[in-house]
């Protein structure tokens, strides 16, 4: 790899530099350092970025020279980062000069701004500020502050404040000075930086930040300190802050560390604080008075609070709140938000009575309640050790119930769709007055609220209007006859009964029972195509969690595949992977030649899961579709075998190396050493130079360690 980096063509040199940076190792620094003098700027950039990952001290001198003499911005950025990691103090004076401005003694790419429209020096300036913080160059604090206060300079406050917080007392003093600014933004950022700083010098200025008159400044300081030290006693005072948003955020961030204060916060005048306190409670206090108060709020309080109280009591005091929750859920006059909270509380409480209450609302008029009830029943049925159970039976009944007469006002979705697709009718045809009609233009919408202003006055039109020419009249006639002027259907309405059955079929896939699979198999022939799709999807998910699907389910799946549309066929094939039947494999092989590439992919995966990977799948490594090829490669890799490595290596070079990186990741499972040897053979063959780029990238992917460059950099830094 080092030889290619020195003598290869420019493309190969770039790839070799990237590969050496990923692989690491003690022998990588030498060629990479030499590449810093390459004539190609891209090669120098890749070499510098690779060295920044390795942080090898042997490259320090050359990186320093590149920082000053190389006009390439990316090289400078990588050099600054690496020199900071190496704690090279000699670079500090130059970094200070960079912070002040574009120093004339440093080489810059003068044409970059005109070529790209972006002055890359601003990136170098921020990188220099960060490096000075890493080097703990306290003497550079005045330079950083001056750069921040430069009127015509870029906004670098976020990076600079974080850097100043790492620079000891001088940096802390500089941050403190920003707490006196008139505008809120610098105070907020300075407060956050001080709070994130674990330095004793920051104690006094942080106290000033917590006393700032702006709630957003106090909030920023609280969030930063809570992220670093949530148990810090200085945060406790914010539970009593004058701003309700700060108090609520304090409860969310710190309530878990001060559980004793949460019951008292339930008496706060702010609903947001009460809601936050309830959400943070792990256990509800054994206090009859408080429980009574909460039950009253659940019944008579604002909807947002009542919903949270219902959820909390159901989860943490179910015995005392069961009757109230049941009544609240069944009260159709209550807001949906409150009933939904009661439903979630009942779901958390469990128990036979709660399950029955949930089953009773599966046919409720409110769709959110229906869906949430069925989801809760599925969770309860899955968690139950006994089978059959009440929750599961309720869902099975919902799936199998025949269509019943709907309310008179309910109409099929097709009728609803046709009505919504009708052309818009003008106000005169509806008998509406001009004041009641909806505005049909921006001008009309504006003038609707300005009775003293007329269209004629705004558009400077004559009162009698404008006379239309014959051409205008013809165009208006053509526009009126344009077909397809329809209202867009945002959400198709579905009959309640069909909605229940569809969602029941969907959630039953979370209950891993053979009886459920059999019921879903029956639904594959349902008159409603959406029910069939949901049932097939649930069977596919069930197949991932059971040893095998029953024989009757397999027969139903195979029968359904024969006439299924593409979307349904994909799910059916996915489910067939879990059917223990010899005939299934033969049927799946027939779909390896399907004209639909998605069907071929599913057939490959299903056969792979069944351990039926043979020549017919190996042949698909050359399929015209990339997703099919990759699925076949994954199946061959999982199956293993004596020639699997050779097949996947050849696959890496096929189709102009399109799957080179993916193939290398698959080869990790088969044998890194053998696969690397095969790629090295390609690099040693000058006649295969056209494929060297694939081999280089594959070697980097094969030999990269999850810790390689990082461990190497840490070891090199310790040696300094």
| Residue-wise pLDDT tens digits, 10-66 | 999 999 999 999 998 888 899 999 999 999 999 999 999 999 988 888 999 999 999
Domain with CATH 1.25.10.10 in the chain: 1-135
**What is residue 409's DSSP assignment?**
T
- pLDDT for the residue numbered 442: 54
- pLDDT for the residue numbered 152: 74
Query: How large a percentage of the chain has pLDDT more than 90?
Result: 68
- pLDDT beyond 90 at 116: no
Instruction: Give the chain's mean pLDDT.
Output: 86
The answer to whether 31 touches 39, Cβ cutoff 8 Å, is: no
Average pLDDT over residues 526-542: 95
Q: What is the pTM of this model?
A: 0.78
Nearest to 659 by CA among 694, 691, 693, 614: 694
As a CATH number, domain 1-135 is 1.25.10.10
DSSP of 322-371, one letter per residue? HHHHHHHHH-TTS-HHHHHHHHHHHHHH-SHHHHHHHHHTTT-S-HHHHH
| pLDDT digit string, tens, across residues 280-291 | 998 888 888 999
Average pLDDT over residues 602-619: 94
683 Cβ partners below 8 Å, 6+ apart? 4, 692, 695, 696, 699
- pLDDT for the residue numbered 83: 94
- pLDDT for the residue numbered 288: 87
Minimum mean pLDDT range among 72-76, 80-84, 456-460: 456-460
pLDDT level of residue 350 (50, 70, 90 thresholds): confident
Cα–Cα distance, 652 to 629 (Å, whole number): 11
Minimum mean pLDDT range among 209-213, 219-223, 323-327, 545-549: 545-549
* Residue with the two structure tokens 């955020």: 249
715 Cβ partners below 8 Å, 6+ apart? none
The answer to whether 487 touches 424, Cβ cutoff 8 Å, is: yes
Minimum mean pLDDT range among 94-108, 193-207, 418-432, 615-629: 418-432
The answer to whether 332 touches 361, Cβ cutoff 8 Å, is: no
**What is residue 406's DSSP assignment?**
P
- pLDDT beyond 50 at 715: no
Bridge partners of 549, per DSSP, are: 579
Which tops the pLDDT comparison, 90 or 27? 90
| pLDDT digit string, tens, across residues 454-473 | 555 555 556 566 677 777 77
Minimum mean pLDDT range among 115-119, 269-273, 526-530: 115-119
Q: At what angle do helices 352-360 and 318-330 cross, to 10 degrees?
A: 10
Average pLDDT over residues 369-376: 95
- pLDDT beyond 90 at 97: yes
- pLDDT beyond 60 at 706: no
Minimum mean pLDDT range among 329-333, 611-615, 706-710: 706-710
For the chain, the maximum distance between any two Cα atoms, rounded to a whole number of angstroms, is 91
Angstrom distances, CA of residue 13 to CA of 4, 29, 51, 631? 6, 15, 15, 32
- pLDDT for the residue numbered 440: 53
| pLDDT digit string, tens, across residues 194-226 | 999 988 899 999 999 999 999 999 999 999 999
Question: Which runs of E-coded beta strand occur in 45-151?
Answer: none
Angstrom distances, CA of residue 352 to CA of 347, 370, 512, 525, 659? 11, 19, 21, 33, 55
The count of other CB atoms within 10 Å of the CB of residue 624 is 9
Cα–Cα distance, 145 to 388 (Å, whole number): 71
- pLDDT beyond 80 at 407: no
The answer to whether 591 touches 603, Cβ cutoff 8 Å, is: yes
Average pLDDT over residues 566-574: 95
- pLDDT beyond 80 at 693: yes
The answer to whether 273 touches 244, Cβ cutoff 8 Å, is: yes
Minimum mean pLDDT range among 88-92, 314-318, 480-484: 480-484
The count of other CB atoms within 10 Å of the CB of residue 284 is 20
- pLDDT for the residue numbered 431: 46
The answer to whether 74 touches 17, Cβ cutoff 8 Å, is: no
| pLDDT digit string, tens, across residues 119-168 | 677 889 999 999 999 999 999 999 999 999 887 777 888 899 999 999 99
Output the CA angle 528-497-503, nearest 5 degrees: 70
- pLDDT beyond 80 at 233: yes
- pLDDT for the residue numbered 487: 61
Cα–Cα distance, 43 to 279 (Å, whole number): 55
Cα–Cα distance, 325 to 341 (Å, whole number): 9
Pick the CATH number of 279-383 from 1.20.1420, 1.10.1760, 1.25.10, 1.10.10: 1.25.10
């Amino acid at each position: 790899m080092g030889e290619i980096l020195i003598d290869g063509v420019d493309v190969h040199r770039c790839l070799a530099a990237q590969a050496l940076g990923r692989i690491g190792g003690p022998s990588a620094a030498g060629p990479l350092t030499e590449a810093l003098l390459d004539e190609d700027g891209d090669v120098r950039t890749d070499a510098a970025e690779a060295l920044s990952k390795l942080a090898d001290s042997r490259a320090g001198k050359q990186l320093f020279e590149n920082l000053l003499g190389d006009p390439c911005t990316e090289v400078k950025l990588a050099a600054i980062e690496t020199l900071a990691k190496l704690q090279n103090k000699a670079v500090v004076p130059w970094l200070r000069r960079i912070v002040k401005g574009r120093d004339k003694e440093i080489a810059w790419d003068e044409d970059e701004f005109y070529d790209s429209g972006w002055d890359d020096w601003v990136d170098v300036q921020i990188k220099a500020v960060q490096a000075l913080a890493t080097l703990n160059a306290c003497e550079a604090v005045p330079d950083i502050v001056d750069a921040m206060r430069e009127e015509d300079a870029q906004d670098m406050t976020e990076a600079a404040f974080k850097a100043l917080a790492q620079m000891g007392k001088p940096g802390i003093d500089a941050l403190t000075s920003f707490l006196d600014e008139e505008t809120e933004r610098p105070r907020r950022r300075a407060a956050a930086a001080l709070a994130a700083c674990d330095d004793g010098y920051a104690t006094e200025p942080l106290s000033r930040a917590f006393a700032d008159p702006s709630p957003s400044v106090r909030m920023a300081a609280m969030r930063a300190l809570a992220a670093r030290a949530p148990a810090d006693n200085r945060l406790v005072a914010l539970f009593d802050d004058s701003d309700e948003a700060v108090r609520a955020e304090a409860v969310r961030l710190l309530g878990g560390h001060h559980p004793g204060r949460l019951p008292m916060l339930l008496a706060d005048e702010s609903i947001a604080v009460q809601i936050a306190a309830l959400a943070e409670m792990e256990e509800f206090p054994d206090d009859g008075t408080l429980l009574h108060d909460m039950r009253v709020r659940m019944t008579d309080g604002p909807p947002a609070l009542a919903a949270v109280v219902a959820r909390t009591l159901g989860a943490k005091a179910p015995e005392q709140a069961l009757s109230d929750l049941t009544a609240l859920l069944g009260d159709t006059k209550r807001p949906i938000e409150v009933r939904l909270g009661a439903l979630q509380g009942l779901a958390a409480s469990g128990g036979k009575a709660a399950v029955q209450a949930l089953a009773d609302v599966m046919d409720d008029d409110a769709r959110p309640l229906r869906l949430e009830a069925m989801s809760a029943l599925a969770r309860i049925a899955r968690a139950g050790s006994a089978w059959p159970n009440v929750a599961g039976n309720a869902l099975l009944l919902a799936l199998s119930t025949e269509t019943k007469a709907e309310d008179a006002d309910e109409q099929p979705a097709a009728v609803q769709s046709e009505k919504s697709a009708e052309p818009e009718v003008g106000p005169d045809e509806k008998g509406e007055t001009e004041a009641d009609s909806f505005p049909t233009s921006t001008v009309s919408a504006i003038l609707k609220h300005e009775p003293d202003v007329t269209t004629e006055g705004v558009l400077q039109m004559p009162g009698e209007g404008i006379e239309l020419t014959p051409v205008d009249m013809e165009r208006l006639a053509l526009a009126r006859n344009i077909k397809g002027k329809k209202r867009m259907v945002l959400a198709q309405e579905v009959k309640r009964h069909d909605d229940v059955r569809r969602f029941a079929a969907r959630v039953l896939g979370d209950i891993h029972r053979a009886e459920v699979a059999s019921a879903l198999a029956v639904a594959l022939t349902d008159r409603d195509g959406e029910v069939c799709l949901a049932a097939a999807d649930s069977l596919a998910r069930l197949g991932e969690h059971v040893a095998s699907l029953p024989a009757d389910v397999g027969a139903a799946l195979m029968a359904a595949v024969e006439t299924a549309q593409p979307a349904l066929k994909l799910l059916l094939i996915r489910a067939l992977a879990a059917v223990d039947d010899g005939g299934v494999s033969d049927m799946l092989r027939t779909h390896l030649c399907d004209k639909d590439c998605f069907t071929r992919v599913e057939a490959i995966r299903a056969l792979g899961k069944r351990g039926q990977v043979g020549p017919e799948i190996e042949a698909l490594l050359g399929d015209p579709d990339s997703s099919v090829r990759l699925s076949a490669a994954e199946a061959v890799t999982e199956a293993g075998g004596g020639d699997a490595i050779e097949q996947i290596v050849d696959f890496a070079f096929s189709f102009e190396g399109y799957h080179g990186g993916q193939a290398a990741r698959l080869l990790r499972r088969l044998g890194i050493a053998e696969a690397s040897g095969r790629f090295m053979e390609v690099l040693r063959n000058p006649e295969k130079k056209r494929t060297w780029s694939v081999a280089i990238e594959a070697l980097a992917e094969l030999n990269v360690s999850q810790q390689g460059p990082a461990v190497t950099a840490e070891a090199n830094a310790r040696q300094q």
